[in-house]
Amino acid sequence: MATVKERLRAGETIAVCNPDYPTPRMVEFIGTLGFDAIFIDCEHASTDFALVEELARAARGVGLAAVVRPWSNEEGLVNRYLSCGVDGVQTPHVQSRAAAAAIIDGMSRWEGDHTTRLVVAMIESEAAIADLPEMLKIDEIDVFYIGAVDLAQSMGLKGNPGHPRVRAAVDAAIEAIAGAGRAAGMNVQDDLDAVTRYRGLGLRWINVHLKTFVSRGTRSFIDTVRAPL
C-alpha cells in the first residue's frame, strides 16, 4: 500500500484531521472515518512527547499517517519528534528558502531515514509569500501549507483571515504552488462549504478540525430539541 508521501507525489488529495482533544482512542475512531492523516499540534496545545508517541502508534494501527507540528524548527526538537514514530513534521513559520533548507538539513542528521518522512512547510507571513517561488524549488518539501490566521496578522489584519486581501493572497499562493506542480495545503477551519472551491484552485492537503463536525451536528441536534412542538 502506498504511503501518504507517495500518494502526494502521485498527485492525490489528502484529507487530514486535527483531533482537537487527542487520545489514542480518538485517533482510532478517526481511522474509521476515511481520513488519510492526523495532525498533532504541539505548538498551540499541551500534547507532550509521551502522548505524541502513543498517538503515532494508534495512527499506525488504523492506517493513518501522523504529522506533528513542533513549537519551533530547532533541529534537536524536530528530530526528537521523528524519533517518537511520527510520519512527518509540519514546521511552523518558514519564512524563506534558507530557513526551509535549514530544516531539511537538520532532519538529514536524524538517526533514521528522513527521506521517508513527510515535510509540511507552513507559509504564514508576507515575507514567506514573497519567497515562496524560491521555496518551491526545494524538492524535499512535500506540502506548502498556507497559514491564513498568521498571514492575516502579518498583513495588519489580526483575527481577520476572511478579509478580502487575505483571501486573495491565500488563493494566489495556492495557485502558485499548484502551478509549480507542488502540493498546497491549508486548514479550512469551519469553512467546509468552500472545500470544492479550494480544490479547484489546487489545494491537495486539506486539514479540518474534528470539533467542526461536532459543533455542526450539535447545533442541529440542540435546535431540534429546543424547537416548539
pLDDT score, position 1: 76
Q: Tell me if 92 sits within 8 A of 43, measured CB to CB.
A: yes
pLDDT 10s digits, 144-180 = 999 999 999 999 999 999 999 999 999 999 999 999 9
Q: How many CA atoms lie within 13 A of 42 on its CB side?
A: 26
pLDDT score, position 98: 98
pLDDT score, position 189: 80
The angle, 0 to 180 degrees and rounded to 10, between the axes of the packed helices 75-83 and 97-107 is: 50
Give the residue ranges of DSSP H helices in the chain: 4-9, 24-30, 49-61, 75-83, 97-107, 126-135, 148-154, 164-179, 195-201, 210-226
Q: Tell me if 178 sits within 8 A of 184, measured CB to CB.
A: yes
- Asked if residue 83 has pLDDT above 80, the reply is yes
- Residue tagged 492506517 (cell numbers): 63
pLDDT score, position 2: 87
Map out the domains of the chain as residue ranges: 4-213
pLDDT 10s digits, 10-37 = 999 999 999 999 999 999 999 999 999 9
| Stated pTM of the model | 0.94
Averaged pLDDT, 96-103: 98
Q: Tell me if 42 sits within 8 A of 81, measured CB to CB.
A: yes
Domain 4-213 homologous superfamily, CATH: Phosphoenolpyruvate-binding domains (3.20.20.60)
**All three cell numbers of 130:** 514573497
